[in-house]
Structure 1
Amino acid sequence: MLNNIQDIQALLQGPKFPDREFIRSGATFGEVYAMAAGFRAAFSGPEYEGASLCLAVDDRAVMAAVLLAALAGGPTLLLPYAFSAQALARMQQLTGFTTAIADGDRALPPGTTIIRPPARTSAAQAPCAQVSPQAELLRIFTGGSTGTPQIWSKTGGNLFGEGFSLARHFAVTEKDCLVATVPPYHIYGLLFSVILPLVSGASVVMATPSFPGEIGEVIWEQGATLLAGIPPHYRALRGKTVAASSLRLAFSSAGMLDAEDNEAFCQLNKVGIAEVYGSTETGGIATRNRHLGETSFTAFPDVSWQIKDERLCVRSPFLSPELPVADDGFFTTGDRVERSGTSQFILKGRVDGVTKVGGKRVDLEEVRGVIKKVPKVSDCVVMALPDSGGREHRIVALVQGGEVDMKLLRQTLADSLEFYALPRVLKMINRIPLQENGKYDRDAIIQLLESN
């Protein structure tokens, strides 16, 4: 952690490669730092002391500049999970922000004061030489399955420390060029397509391709060496060649990567996928590359871990400050794990009611609550069955009530939940199987849900 703090201090002294492109065929590192100095000057007024600013930005160069300025003593930034009017209005209700940094037209609440990016110059100015890595830098809003966001704080040490750690672990340097299929206002996109290039000197492509043809085209055109994708995109890429000879490594996060999707990509494109396991609140915890024969996860060097009551516990400099930790500094996650050998672990599933579908959080109790509001529903069980990768993400529901209007039930679910939170299997039954002790018979329920 000491090395990370020293690296963060050095980062604010100015760009190491001022004339090198931060954005491929776009802004240089010198221009990013000049923008950062401009933002830092704008933040110096008394009205920004103790304030929180909405970061309504998806330009990676502007994002990098704002983060540098905030790291150098600027206001706390608020990162929305979407730029829709509903998401931004909800965030304002929760935080009371009155000012936003925006790089384009955004559906910001009426009356919001907007700060636009300063004009780009080539002067490689440093925003500030002093920084407190433990000061709150960012509050990240993550979307919930019913639109109720969770909020996680991140310090400069959390975010930039993780960036330096990733750069060291994966040997990312100024020779690399990264393509990301996720936008920079999601934590995975922020870390891998803004912070990681910023701390390593690598360049990043401004575009965020998501269709298979686009991904391959951008990689070829830009000579990319690194690809940061998510499981749904690797699923869409099955059977398609996207990797140019320049690509040396791919990343996957925001959910577990299906083993068959991983194998298909690696075999066809002759490059491995480094899966990064973690969450918004924990930061990156561990990684594996099945192309190299790694079936289990190995923790990153800065992360310590142990198993307690089958649950993974981690001690890490990347944990959000509000997470409850024990006296020894360990946070107990919601994942069940099994030790593999002396230093690796295997994920066995979740112990709480939160799962991920396509990288989106879904609260199973919220889904159950929607179902139980439908007339004639007397009980229901909502589960996330494990996929081949070992994490639960396929939502299914068994509903008790012989006279339930299925059309009404499906319509209620569609009106109340995001599409990714809808049960993929929805079955009716007169009585949900129970064990002798009165608890749900999980095995019998799964058998019913998986039967035709």
Structure 2
Amino acid sequence: MSCHFQTHIFSSHVLSIRDDLSGIAFREFWQDVGQQSLAIAQLQAEQYALWENDSHEFLVLFFAALLANKQVLIAPHRVKALEEELAQQGIHFLSRQSESLLENGTFELQHLDLNEQFLQQAQVYFYTSGSTGQPKKIPRTLRQLLNEVQGLDQSFDLLQDSIAIATVSHQHIYGLLFKLLLPLASGRSFYIPQLAFPEDVVAVQQKLKHLQCKNYVISSPALLKRWTRDVVLQDCQSVYSSGGKLESGIRPHLNRPVVEVLGSSETGGIAHRQQDDALWTPFANVNIRMAEHEELAVQTNHAFTEDWILTGDRVSVRDATCLKTLFQLSGRLDRLIKLEEKRLSLDAIEHKILTLDEIAECHVLVTQKDHRQILACVAVLTASAQHVLMQQNKAQFVAKLKQQLTEQLETIAIPRQWRFLSQLPRNSQSKLNKQMMQSLFQPLLTPVVLSQTYTEESAQYLLEFPPELACFKGHFPNLPIYAGVGQIGFIQHFAKQLWTALDWCNGYEQLKFQDLIKPYAVVQLKLQRQLHKVHFELYTQDKTLASGRLLFMLQQQTDTV
């Protein structure tokens, strides 16, 4: 089967499927792309940022901009700070152009030629996740992206009628490749809406039964961890997981194979496996070797360079077949540190901490205290340990953990500072938010964002309120609560982060504070914007804690095109 963007331009087969199961054919898609490319070609700038919540609309603008000879920067989100940063570089966010302004008439589909010269010249930039520091821009050509799609198609035996269903964003390279570009190049279909919960996936699969097609699910370790055996996948060929390590013991909860995918923004996809402790199998177009210090090196025709790329992963290799070198990962090289002249492995320390009965998950990091580097730990407790912590002094609880660790770790390797959360915080791409975890050991002014999703005019946050939050101090000594004025403060902060046009809050409407927020509370925050008004609701599963509307002054909106 041919796997190339050019192959299916005139096809009447459905490419994208809306929520109501109506479809958009390949030829309709490409006609729309061509028409938009004529309009975008009239824009002056050479580079544009792209962030669209709708997967189909994103794909139209993605190809239209490239055909218009524009460079495309795939934004990881669209928040005020990023808009301002890009605007300073003369980069604005792209939106659908009005075709009524076109002077060149209608685009002729037979003139669309996605030839090799176009593929080599079409330039796309991806942001790394930024989970370990300042995000970097990674360049890729459309030819390199097509090479990766072709490698996926060769590595996985997907049925021709399989429909892609995703719980991950197309704004990340993993979602873009698996959900959008693979169907586009191979003649398959994708379901447009991004799904949020396991139950949503199964509900969509039930709805898609009317089309009498198989499907495959593109997901993340964070969501698959929440899967239960009573959520049964239907007509599903396989489930894909990427964006972080899939914890052992999750696969038995799903009734279909789970393919774990290893990769990065720099290298693209590297390898895959279907069992927790299995060796990794490189993709069809990927070569690997062990470099100096047992570091995994990758060479592939879909990375931003054809040279060998060092990944920072420690590896042991095994020639299991004459065709492919299989390998095993054994931790990150950048997690080997020197502390007071002592060489320590943060991975090894985490492994020892996880042997404690009280600890379900943890992340160990290096932080600064009194101009010295010290070890710190963010931990998720078991339910019983969480109950014990709530009943006693935190210092006593931590002292007990440290005492247990003296039997397994030398003193310098035992974390000195501890924070406890209900889950490790993750960014919008489901990767560990290491910047957020670092901030837990600085003066803490806003609740911890465990996860977040957002569209153009709405956002949903999962927040946790550690006892170390500054707002708990003084309200009140024996019964700390998060004051209403503090709630308004962080809601303003999140709203202004999201929406560039909001300046300062100058009023409120229908404010209601209906219940208390106490230390360790886990709360949902929903924001909905209507011009200068932002409606908010803070709630848990069984009750609303606060709600109302904030009124903002609007500043001069950064120009978008």
TM-score greater than 0.5 by the shorter chain: yes
Q: Report how far residue 335 of structure 1 moved.
A: 0.6
Q: 1:314 aligns with which of 273, 298, 318?
A: 298
1:29 counterpart residue number: 26
- Counterparts in 2 of 1:372-387, with a 5 A limit? 372=368, 376=370, 378-381=372-375
1:26-80 deviation digits (Å, cap 9, x = unpaired): 32211210111012212333724xx101112132222222333344452010111
For 1:126 and 1:259, the matched residues in 2 are separated by: 51
Q: Report how far residue 276 of structure 1 moved.
A: 1.0
Q: 1:128 aligns with which of 113, 120, 128?
A: 113
Q: Report how far residue 282 of structure 1 moved.
A: 0.5
Q: Report how far residue 250 of structure 1 moved.
A: 0.9
**How large is the Cα RMSD of the aligned pairs?**
4.0
- Work out whether residues 229 and 250 of structure 1, in 8 Å CA contact, stay in contact via their aligned partners in 2: yes
Q: 1:219 aligns with which of 200, 205, 219?
A: 205
1:229 counterpart residue number: 219
Q: Report how far residue 102 of structure 1 moved.
A: 2.8
Q: Report how far residue 122 of structure 1 moved.
A: 12
- Work out whether residues 101 and 117 of structure 1, in 8 Å CA contact, stay in contact via their aligned partners in 2: no
For 1:380 and 1:31, the matched residues in 2 are separated by: 58
Give 1 or 2: higher strand fraction. Answer: 2
For 2:108 and 2:13, the matched residues in 1 are separated by: 10
For 1:419 and 1:181, the matched residues in 2 are separated by: 19
For 1:215 and 1:46, the matched residues in 2 are separated by: 39
Other structure's SS at 1:236 match: coil
Q: What one-letter code is carried by the residue in structure 2 that aligns with 1:412?
A: Q
- Work out whether residues 30 and 123 of structure 1, in 8 Å CA contact, stay in contact via their aligned partners in 2: no
Is 1:189 matched with 2:175?
A: yes
- Work out whether residues 183 and 189 of structure 1, in 8 Å CA contact, stay in contact via their aligned partners in 2: yes
For 2:446 and 2:267, the matched residues in 1 are separated by: 29
1:313-336 deviation digits (Å, cap 9, x = unpaired): 111012124xxx7xxx31111111
- Counterparts in 2 of 1:102-141, with a 5 A limit? 102=95, 115=97, 127-130=112-115, 131-141=117-127
- Work out whether residues 60 and 184 of structure 1, in 8 Å CA contact, stay in contact via their aligned partners in 2: yes
Is 1:203 matched with 2:189?
A: yes
Q: What one-letter code is carried by the residue in structure 1 that aligns with 2:329?
A: L
- Work out whether residues 69 and 122 of structure 2, in 8 Å CA contact, stay in contact via their aligned partners in 1: no
2:145 counterpart residue number: 159
Q: Report how far residue 187 of structure 1 moved.
A: 1.3
Q: 1:272 aligns with which of 253, 257, 282?
A: 257
Other structure's SS at 1:398 match: coil
Q: What one-letter code is carried by the residue in structure 2 that aligns with 1:333?
A: T
2:455 counterpart residue number: none
Other structure's SS at 2:230 match: coil
- Counterparts in 2 of 1:33-432, with a 5 A limit? 33-45=30-42, 47-48=44-45, 51-72=46-67, 74-93=69-88, 95-98=89-92, 100-102=93-95, 115=97, 127-130=112-115, 131-145=117-131, 148-172=134-158, 174-223=160-209, 224-244=214-234, 246-265=235-254, 269=255, 271-290=256-275, 295-308=278-291, 309-321=293-305, 329-342=307-320, 343-353=325-335, 368=366, 371-372=367-368, 376=370, 378-381=372-375, 398-399=415-416, 410=440, 412=442, 414-415=444-445, 419=449
For 2:167 and 2:200, the matched residues in 1 are separated by: 10
Relative to structure 2, which stretch is displaced further, 298-307 or 336-345?
336-345
- Work out whether residues 228 and 250 of structure 1, in 8 Å CA contact, stay in contact via their aligned partners in 2: yes
For 2:69 and 2:252, the matched residues in 1 are separated by: 45
C-alpha change, 1:299 and 1:415, in structure 2 (3 Å) is farther
* Alignment TM-score, normalising by the size of structure 1: 0.70
For 1:344 and 1:316, the matched residues in 2 are separated by: 16
C-alpha change, 1:147 and 1:345, in structure 2 (3 Å) is closer
1:161-187 deviation digits (Å, cap 9, x = unpaired): 211221232133541111000121111
C-alpha change, 1:272 and 1:46, in structure 2 (3 Å) is closer
1:286-333 deviation digits (Å, cap 9, x = unpaired): 111129xx8111101111111123111111012124xxx7xxx31111
Other structure's SS at 1:168 match: helix
C-alpha change, 1:128 and 1:44, in structure 2 (3 Å) is farther
Q: Report how far residue 143 of structure 1 moved.
A: 3.9
C-alpha change, 1:384 and 1:71, in structure 2 (3 Å) is farther
- Work out whether residues 152 and 284 of structure 2, in 8 Å CA contact, stay in contact via their aligned partners in 1: no
For 2:279 and 2:132, the matched residues in 1 are separated by: 33
C-alpha change, 1:34 and 1:301, in structure 2 (3 Å) is same
For 1:26 and 1:349, the matched residues in 2 are separated by: 44
Other structure's SS at 1:58 match: coil
C-alpha change, 1:397 and 1:97, in structure 2 (3 Å) is farther
Q: Report how far residue 195 of structure 1 moved.
A: 0.5
For 1:301 and 1:383, the matched residues in 2 are separated by: 39
Q: Report how far residue 399 of structure 1 moved.
A: 3.8
- Work out whether residues 313 and 329 of structure 2, in 8 Å CA contact, stay in contact via their aligned partners in 1: yes
- Work out whether residues 287 and 297 of structure 1, in 8 Å CA contact, stay in contact via their aligned partners in 2: yes
Q: What one-letter code is carried by the residue in structure 2 that aligns with 1:331?
A: I
Q: What one-letter code is carried by the residue in structure 1 that aligns with 2:94?
A: I
- Work out whether residues 377 and 399 of structure 1, in 8 Å CA contact, stay in contact via their aligned partners in 2: no
Q: Report how far residue 150 of structure 1 moved.
A: 1.9
- Work out whether residues 74 and 171 of structure 2, in 8 Å CA contact, stay in contact via their aligned partners in 1: yes
Other structure's SS at 1:140 match: strand
Other structure's SS at 1:222 match: helix
- Work out whether residues 302 and 317 of structure 1, in 8 Å CA contact, stay in contact via their aligned partners in 2: yes
For 1:274 and 1:135, the matched residues in 2 are separated by: 33
Q: Report how far residue 410 of structure 1 moved.
A: 4.3
Q: What one-letter code is carried by the residue in structure 2 that aligns with 1:134?
A: Q
For 1:125 and 1:183, the matched residues in 2 are separated by: 32
For 1:17 and 1:397, the matched residues in 2 are separated by: 61
Q: What one-letter code is carried by the residue in structure 1 that aligns with 2:145?
A: L
1:448 counterpart residue number: none
- Work out whether residues 127 and 265 of structure 2, in 8 Å CA contact, stay in contact via their aligned partners in 1: no
1:440 counterpart residue number: none
- Work out whether residues 38 and 107 of structure 2, in 8 Å CA contact, stay in contact via their aligned partners in 1: no
In structure 1, runs of 5+ residues without a counterpart are 104-114, 357-363, 386-395, 401-408, 426-452
In structure 2, runs of 5+ residues without a counterpart are 337-345, 348-362, 380-412, 418-438, 452-462, 467-561
C-alpha change, 1:173 and 1:117, in structure 2 (3 Å) is farther
Q: Report how far residue 220 of structure 1 moved.
A: 1.9
Relative to structure 2, which stretch is displaced further, 39-48 or 305-314?
39-48
- What is the number of residues matched between the two proteins? 363
* Alignment TM-score, normalising by the size of structure 2: 0.57
For 2:371 and 2:79, the matched residues in 1 are separated by: 34
For 1:174 and 1:72, the matched residues in 2 are separated by: 27
| Bigger Rg, structure 1 or 2 | 2
Q: What one-letter code is carried by the residue in structure 2 that aligns with 1:300?
A: F
